[in-house]
Chain A
Amino acid sequence: MIRSNEFGISNLRLAGLGGAALGLLLAATPVAAQTANPAYAAARAGGQIGEQIDGYLGFPSSPSADVRRTAEDVNIKRRAIYAERASATHSTQEDYAFTTACRLILKTRPGEKYQSPDGSWHTRTSEAPLRDAKCAAADTAPN
Chain B
Amino acid sequence: MNSFELTYRAAAAKTRSIKGPSMEFAARNRRPQRQWVTTATILIGGALALGGCVSVTAPDKPIVIELNINIKQEVVYRLAADAAKTIEDNPGVF
B68 vs chain A, min Cβ distance (A): 10
Nearest B residue to A135 by beta-carbon distance?
B76
* Cβ of A67 under 8 Å from chain B: no
* Cβ of B77 under 8 Å from chain A: yes
Q: Which of B2-10, B16-24, B38-46, B80-88 contacts A (4 or more CB under 8 A)?
A: B80-88
| Given A95-B75, A99-B75, CB of A81 within 8 Å of CB of B81 | no
Contact A36 B91 (CB under 8 A): yes
B83, B88, B89, B91: the one contacting A35 at CB < 8 Å is: B91
| Given A37-B92, A89-B82, CB of A104 within 8 Å of CB of B76 | no
A114 vs chain B, min Cβ distance (A): 13
| Residues of chain B with a CB closer than 8 A to A100's CB | 83, 86-87, 94
| Residues of chain A with a CB closer than 8 A to B75's CB | 91, 95, 99
B79, B89, B92, B94, most chain A CB atoms within 10 A: B79
| Residues of chain B with a CB closer than 8 A to A102's CB | 76, 80, 83
Interface size, B (range)? 20 to 34
Q: Which of A2-10, A16-24, A58-66, A115-123 contacts B (4 or more CB under 8 A)?
A: A2-10
Contact A134 B76 (CB under 8 A): yes
Nearest A residue to B75 by beta-carbon distance?
A95
**Chain A residues with a Cβ closer than 8 Å to the other chain, count:** 42
* Cβ of B74 under 8 Å from chain A: yes
A74 vs chain B, min Cβ distance (A): 6
| Interchain CA distance A94-B48 in the complex, whole Å | 48
* Cβ of B69 under 8 Å from chain A: yes
Nearest A residue to B73 by beta-carbon distance?
A137
* Cβ of A103 under 8 Å from chain B: yes
Chain A residues within CB distance 8 Å of chain B: 2-5, 7-8, 11, 31-32, 34-37, 40, 74, 77-78, 81, 85, 88-89, 91, 95-96, 98-100, 102-104, 107, 133-143
Closest 3 CB pairs of A and B: A36-B92, A141-B80, A137-B77
Q: List 20 A-B contacts (CB under 8 A).
A: A2-B90, A3-B89, A32-B94, A35-B91, A36-B91, A77-B92, A89-B78, A89-B82, A91-B75, A91-B78, A95-B76, A99-B76, A99-B79, A99-B83, A100-B86, A104-B87, A107-B87, A134-B69, A136-B73, A138-B83
